Structure 1
Amino acid sequence: MFDNALEGVRVLDLTHHVAGPQCTKLLADYGADVIKVERPSGDPARSIGPFQNDQPHPEKSGLFLHLNINKRSITVNLKHPNGVGVVKELVRESDIAIENFQPGMMDSLGLGYDVLEKINPAIVLTSISNFGQTGPYREMKSSDIVAYAMGGPMNITGHADYEPLKLAGNIVAMHAGSVAAYATMVALWDAEDTGEGQNVDISIYETQAGFRDRRVIYLTAHAYTGESYSRPDPGYRVASGTRPCADGFVNILGFGPRFRNISNMIGHPELADDPKFADPAGRSDPDVAMAFDEYYIPWLMEHTKLEAVNEAQDNQLLAGPINTVEDIFKDPHFEFRGYWDTIDHPETGELTYPGRPFKMSGAELPPRSPAPLLGQHTVEVLENLGHTTQVISLLRESGAI
């Protein structure tokens, strides 16, 4: 039994915004000591909302607070030679360094992998960038929606009669950060075995091109048949998909062999033998679907989301509610599993945060600490490196920290 799965692993976090901090957050969640290096003005994510009480404040960004739980913050000016020197000292004491600057930036700062491996031959440097460290797109600017569009998912998202859509939120950056955390741990495992580190190259573009199993199949099919897959026809299917109910929307699958189940559920078992609905192929006809809805929708409007879903599950139907954020927050399943964490922050007070993404039977992980104040641990970290109060003052006066 151990308290922290990654206890003893030190991570030098040179990341900002979303993808990099998501990577280091996952490591911090499981016990790694993550030292977040911020520019003197702070991670730009500190200026991105939502903000507590809708009042912009560098210590009250919901995005920053979520992505930087369990980390320590030091402020370092990477444009100052002494600031770079501090980072090199931390490299010597770290197992992992993670950065998401534009390719070439680390080299220009004097912190490229060839420099870091001389300081610490076992260091794992994970580099997260839009398109990777090599290739013709290496220096292209990008964003979450650009990566989602170029990587392929956007082409099959949305209504066939309208422009393609993007899934909500920072889904691309969050996914890339999760991939980076996985890749980093693989590299760390190898470093512990061989004593030699390596530079892990994460291309956000590539994480999208291989994301979602269906699209990979379509790409393969295209290679063999010359055909590609686009957004599906928006036509209704009988008894399947999203429908309104008394307090929102539900998604119930009553198509194919489950049609008799859903007919029984809504109190019209005779519909299962109605010639209009008997032909499975005909159930894809929007007119036939709307004819079934004349029986289906009134039943749904008499039931709440949870009532409809419970009835559907009792009738062996695949079903789930279309949850709002409030629904998720109040979900009894999450409550039973102790998913939500309440964390006290010196500026925001107690807030509730999403929990760790997975549980481990062999680890008793301690309560999580709040995201750090800007530079909160600068003196502590420098003292741990052996710097005296006088040296720390000189570094501060010179603008290095």
Structure 2
Amino acid sequence: MEDAFGSLRGLVVLDLTQMLAGPFCSQMLADHGAEVLKIEPPGGDSTRQFGPFHPEDSLRSHGGYYQSVNRNKKSVVLDLKDKAGRNDFLALACQADIVVENFREGVMDRLGVGYDALSTVNPRLIYASVRGFGDGHGGSGASPYANWPAFDIVAQAMGGLIGITGQDKDSVVKVGPGVGDIMPGILAAFGILAAVNERHSSGKGQYIDVAMVDTMLALCERIVHQYSYAGAVCSPDGSHHPMFAPFGLFPARDGIVAIGCVAQHQWRTLCELMNRFDLRDDPAIDNGEKRFARREDITAAVTGFTVRHTKAELIELLGGKIPFGPVYDARDIFNDPHFRAREMLPCVAHPGLNQPLEIVGIPLKLSRTPGRIAHGAAQLGEHTDEVLARVRAQQS
């Protein structure tokens, strides 16, 4: 039995998720000590076959994609289309605290293991689903698109994120990482823990309903108030801010850097560092509103300074003095001491390899009950016998 750790130790989670949104949610719970049983079909989660694979991996149990969102979990193979598999799952659900799934609406109900069935046998069960357009069980009205399948890019598109991302309204782009999956996963984890807290007083579980598209709209909150208050339809602002200047990306001699000056004292400091005392003392730009009105001139002035220096030089000149940071790629991140100091590049053992590999670490730090990475992603069915033997022993 592994040592218990973290603030969520003692919670048992049945994880029927795949792809990114659901696995990210359940991994957050596992990172902080919950026992997460990843329930996989006989062929395994399809993302096990997603790359990249290390060239020396002799087993190819899973690639980097699967490893990155399934650490700290146990793998249990059950065929929910088979009566015996369903019975085993129901036995697990009777003893579990939480179920997380991200199938299309109705799939779990058709298998006979949906929320209505599980909450009947275990009224304390907290059941969370992450779907493109939500689920009627959540208490709000069902979406007219409830049966539509969705991926990250659909959520980004319909939730408003893509519409404000890019250089202009005619050249919108998706956001690089899968935020249309990751943010719903984070919200689902928050909802689960809110329900766990409420259960302490009521003794009852409940349904947690997260829609990917809703989450993207919440992420883009300003497009709602700017439309409802001012009738403004937001469009992309390129690499600069729609309300502040200077605030955005600026070219260096060997790359790009980010600079943001919201307060006047930050702007004055930047002017001094640029040796532009004329700008520092100009009454025409002595507050944020005036600066934004002259944003093209401000941007040009800062660009004229940054483009003459390398990123390393700008780090020396600006780092720690104003809100500033260089734009990093993965190589830069691996070489920056911040990420090692913050344990954001931990190594895990990978089946089929003689060397550990880095994965992204745990960003949420707790002082007294910290999370940890106890082990990497499990091989398919690695814990089936152990878990089923335990649940049958508890039944007898």
Partner of residue 367 from structure 2, selected from 354, 361, 364: 361
Q: Which letter maps to 1:308?
A: L
Matches of 2:366 and 2:239, distance apart in 1: 42
For residues 298-345 of structure 1, the C-alpha deviation after alignment (integer angstroms, 9 at most, x for no partner) is 2x2xx3x2431331145x322111011121222212222333221112
Q: How far is the alpha carbon of 1:194 from its aligned partner?
A: 1.4
- The one of 369, 381, 385 equivalent to 2:387 is 381
**1:67: how far off?**
0.6
Distance 1:382 1:169 in 2: 37
Q: Give the corresponding residue for 1:242.
A: 249
Choose 156-165 or 181-190, whichever is displaced more: 156-165
Q: Does 1:26 align with 2:28?
A: yes
Counterpart in the other structure of 1:370: 376
Unmatched 5+ residue regions in structure 2?
136-141
What is the CA distance between 1:346 and its match in structure 2?
Answer: 2.3
CA contact (8 A) 1:124 1:197 kept: yes
**Rg larger in structure:** 1
- The amino acid that maps onto 1:317 is I
Between the aligned partners of 1:198 and 1:269, the Cα distance in structure 2 is 61
User: Within 1, Cα distance between the matches of 2:211 and 2:118?
Assistant: 21
Of 168, 186, 196, 2:194 maps to: 186
Seen in structure 2, the aligned counterparts of structure 1 residues 328 and 291 have a Cα distance that, compared at 3 Å, is closer
Question: Paired residue for 2:328, among 313, 323, 328?
Answer: 323
> More deviation in 160-169 or 56-65?
56-65
- 1:364: how far off? 4.8
In structure 2, distance between residues paired with 1:193 and 1:291 = 59
Matches within 5 A, 1:79-94: 79-94=81-96
- Give the TM-score of the pair, scaled to structure 1: 0.85
Distance 2:21 2:390 in 1: 28
Q: For residues 246 and 146 of structure 1, what CA distance do their matches in structure 2 show?
A: 37
What CA RMSD, in Å, does the superposition of the two structures yield over aligned residues? 2.9
- For residues 250 and 293 of structure 1, what CA distance do their matches in structure 2 show? 10
> Aligned letter for 1:311?
L
Q: 1:101 to 1:255 in 2, by over 3 A?
A: closer
One-letter amino acid of the structure 2 residue matched with residue 373 of structure 1: Q
Residue-by-residue CA offset, 1:195-237 (whole Å, 9 max, x unaligned): 21112111111111111xxx42331232233332222377899
CA distance in 2, matches of 1:101, 1:68: 17
Cα-to-partner distance string for 1:31-69 (whole Å, 9 max, x where unaligned): 001100111111111122222239897523111101110
Change (3 A) 1:32 1:244: same
Q: State the secondary structure of the residue aligned to 2:55.
A: helix
Which residue of structure 2 aligns with residue 399 of structure 1? none
Shift of residue 361 of structure 1?
Answer: 1.3
1:284 aligned residue: 295
- Report the Cα distance in structure 1 between the residues aligned to 2:370 and 2:28, rounded to whole angstroms: 16
TM-score where L is the length of structure 2: 0.86
3-state SS in 1 of match to 2:349? strand
Structure 1, unaligned runs of 5 or more: 388-401
Choose from 45, 50, 53 the match for 2:52.
50
When residues 180 and 54 of structure 1 are mapped into structure 2, their CA distance, relative to the original with a 3 A threshold, is farther
Counterpart CA distance in 1 for 2:58 and 2:179 is: 23
Distance across 2 between alignment mates of 1:140 and 1:82: 31
Query: Distance between the aligned counterparts of 1:281 and 1:291, measured in 2?
Result: 13
In the TM superposition, what are the counterparts of 1:73-152 in structure 2 within 5 Å?
A: 73-133=75-135, 134-152=142-160
Q: In 1, Cα distance between the equivalents of 2:370 and 2:300? A: 53
Distance 2:197 2:247 in 1: 46
- Aligned match of 1:222: 227
Pick from 63, 69, 72: which aligns with 1:70?
A: 72
Letter in 2 for 1:310: E
Contact 2:71-2:373 at 8 Å conserved across structures: no
8 Å CA contact 2:15, 2:100 repeated in 1: yes
Distance of 1:186 and 1:10 partners within structure 2: 16
Question: Equivalents in 2 of 1:225, 1:380: separation in Å?
Answer: 60
Q: Distance in 1 between matches of 2:240 and 2:14?
A: 51
CA offsets 1:347-392 (integer angstroms, 9 cap, x no match): 24411122112111111545521100011111111111237xxxxx
Count of paired positions: 377
Q: 1:171-182 to 2 correspondence within 5 Å?
A: 171-182=179-190
2:252 pairs with 1:251: no
Quick one: distance in 2 between partners of 1:190 and 1:234? 42
Change in 2 beyond 3 A, CA 1:367/1:280 = closer
- 1:294: how far off? 4.4
Q: Hey, what does 1:397 align to over in structure 2?
A: none
Distance of 1:223 and 1:238 partners within structure 2? 24
Distance 1:256 1:366 in 2: 38
